[in-house]
Structure 1
Amino acid sequence: MTQLRDCSAGEWIAPRLGPFGGAVESVVPRGFDAYARVLHPVTDARGEPSSWTTVCEATGRQPHALMQWHAIAGATVTERNGVSEHSMLWDGDEPGEGNLAEPALTALFRLLIRHTDPDAECYCALWDGWGFGAETPAVTTVVAVRRPRWLRWLWPKARPGLVPSPSSFAVLTGPRLRHPGRDYLLFSGQLETAIETGFDVRFGSQSPNLFWPADRTWCVATEIDFDSTLVAGSTSLIDDVLTDPALEAWPVHPGDSLTHDGDTLNA
């Protein structure tokens, strides 16, 4: 995976985004045939994989494409923080914000490979606010404690237990792809190299924030404040996303709201 010193490959996205905010189109570009919302995984009180639909069954809420976690989990509203994700009705885990965790991430990668030219160049954007862009413990932790598959793609020569070299830090402090409210580091490479079988994912996983091929036939976006990942592409790709048993996904439209108050059915 190579960091790009010229971020023009990603400049097509911003003009196709809606106003910065909580709509689907504020995160993933308009103009695609279909869209899917992939809900970030959750686990139950025993640490076993669960689903948002199962949470709805446990709390008496209604599952639907725009459901919000705090609404279906029965989370409390506090005067200080507005919404608390902690629930008195669901004693399992909560979905991660800004990160599509394993094994859902690899499942999505495998679907994308089937809908992408094997020789196509792909682009990956990483939000620069994760703390990977300077000599901080966050950088050391991600690389030293077993990088997730796609981060291994960025640092193919790094090994667990080693602090990244100064050149690694230089790469991650390079030019930015600038979007409204967000700046990203941009990398390029072939999609198939993003997943390597037999690699153990542990603490420190972080999925790409934006991902797309050179022909722009699809685009994947994980907004840092969302607990779901958005996929835009052809009808056939989105159909595969919606029917993959490893993903909990719903069809959405560009104008749909994913804000905290967007779940009107479980308000």
Structure 2
Amino acid sequence: MADGMTTWAEVAADQGTEVHASAQWADLARGEAGGFATSRSCPGLEYGQVSDGEFIGPGAAALADVLLAHTSTPVDLVLGLWEGNGSLSVGVDSVAGVGAGGQGDFVGHPLGNSAAEALRTGEGLLSVIGGYRRYLLVGDDGSRLRDPVWGGRADLPGEGVRLWPNLAWPPDRAWTMATEIDDCWTLVAGSWDLIRALCSHPDLEALPIRPDAELGPFSDSVNGRSPSV
């Protein structure tokens, strides 16, 4: 196991634990929830999970490609971005706004402006679980699901800000993707053909899971910790 990105399967092999559909990072890695764990086979090596609510690495693009191949509207998607994400209101340094004195003019990120307007008017927001979560809804032609960088491209000024969508679905409702901000995994609901394609993709660690499966912090009954830990 070397420095850089690794897989849950490699971590489980190192720690003597098991990858399964309801696995939780802290149980599988024998570390702190959301924190780092020490390798058993490589002294001095530590590994930690990707930040909750994120999806990085080759798996993100692979997931997008599989999803887009399983809808009749791959260039017409809806993305949902959690309203509390700091990147929605970030100020970015506009290269075009750097003056002769070397002082950059900070411009509001276009997505941040959209979010502020949506929060003010309530339009363009999806509220779920009785208002427990609210998401800014944004149309997408598939390009931001593949490469979720906002700004730093021809259509938006400023430097790029990577922001993985927390929700995504096409109008034909062929599937729904959800990455909860407080969890370390992404869920996809769809046809069996889609699930098989995801689970067999070489760049994805994906397992089928029952719709009623328990996914709480102490739901890992295979590798599980005591709730007192």
Please state which band the TM-score falls in when normalised by the shorter chain: 0.7 to 0.9
Give the conservation status (yes or no) of the 8 Å contact 2:34–2:52: no
User: What percent identity do the matched residue pairs reach?
Assistant: 31
Alignment match of 2:197 (pick from 236, 240, 249) = 240
* Residues in 2 aligned to 1:113 and 1:163: alpha-carbon distance in whole angstroms: 35
Alignment match of 1:69 (pick from 16, 22, 25) = 25
* Residues in 1 aligned to 2:145 and 2:36: alpha-carbon distance in whole angstroms: 34
* Shift in Å, 1:140: 2.9
2:139 corresponds to 1:188: yes
- In structure 1, the residue matched to 2:52 is 97
Alignment match of 2:38 (pick from 83, 88, 102) = 88
Moved over 3 A (4+): 161-169, 192-196
Shift in alpha-carbon separation, 1:261–1:168, aligned structure 2, 3 A: closer
2:209 corresponds to 1:252: yes
* Shift in Å, 1:45: 5.2
TM-score, structure 2 length as denominator? Answer: 0.74
Shift in alpha-carbon separation, 1:61–1:193, aligned structure 2, 3 A: closer
Which letter does structure 1 place at the counterpart of 2:168? F
Q: What SS does the aligned partner of 2:162 have?
A: coil
Shift in alpha-carbon separation, 1:234–1:164, aligned structure 2, 3 A: farther
Alignment match of 1:110 (pick from 44, 47, 65) = 65
1:149-168 equivalences under 5 Å are 163-165=106-108, 168=111
- In structure 1, the residue matched to 2:170 is 213
Give the conservation status (yes or no) of the 8 Å contact 2:22–2:215: yes
Alignment match of 2:81 (pick from 117, 126, 132) = 126
Aligned residues: 193
* Shift in Å, 1:84: 6.2
Give the conservation status (yes or no) of the 8 Å contact 1:218–1:232: yes
- In structure 1, the residue matched to 2:15 is 59
Q: What SS does the aligned partner of 2:113 have?
A: helix
* Shift in Å, 1:98: 0.4
* Shift in Å, 1:251: 0.7
- In structure 1, the residue matched to 2:155 is none
Listed as ranges, the gaps of 5+ residues in structure 1 are 1-43, 77-82, 146-160
* Residues in 1 aligned to 2:181 and 2:145: alpha-carbon distance in whole angstroms: 21
Shift in alpha-carbon separation, 1:56–1:119, aligned structure 2, 3 A: closer
Shift in alpha-carbon separation, 1:57–1:140, aligned structure 2, 3 A: same
* Residues in 1 aligned to 2:109 and 2:220: alpha-carbon distance in whole angstroms: 46
* Shift in Å, 1:203: 8.8
Root-mean-square deviation (CA, aligned residues, Å) is: 2.9
Q: What SS does the aligned partner of 2:35 have?
A: strand
* Residues in 1 aligned to 2:34 and 2:53: alpha-carbon distance in whole angstroms: 17
Shift in alpha-carbon separation, 1:68–1:144, aligned structure 2, 3 A: farther
Which letter does structure 1 place at the counterpart of 2:185? S
Give the conservation status (yes or no) of the 8 Å contact 2:175–2:188: yes
**Larger Cα-atom Rg:** 2
* Residues in 2 aligned to 1:69 and 1:223: alpha-carbon distance in whole angstroms: 15
Alignment match of 1:230 (pick from 174, 187, 190) = 187
Listed as ranges, the gaps of 5+ residues in structure 2 are 41-45, 96-103, 153-158, 225-229
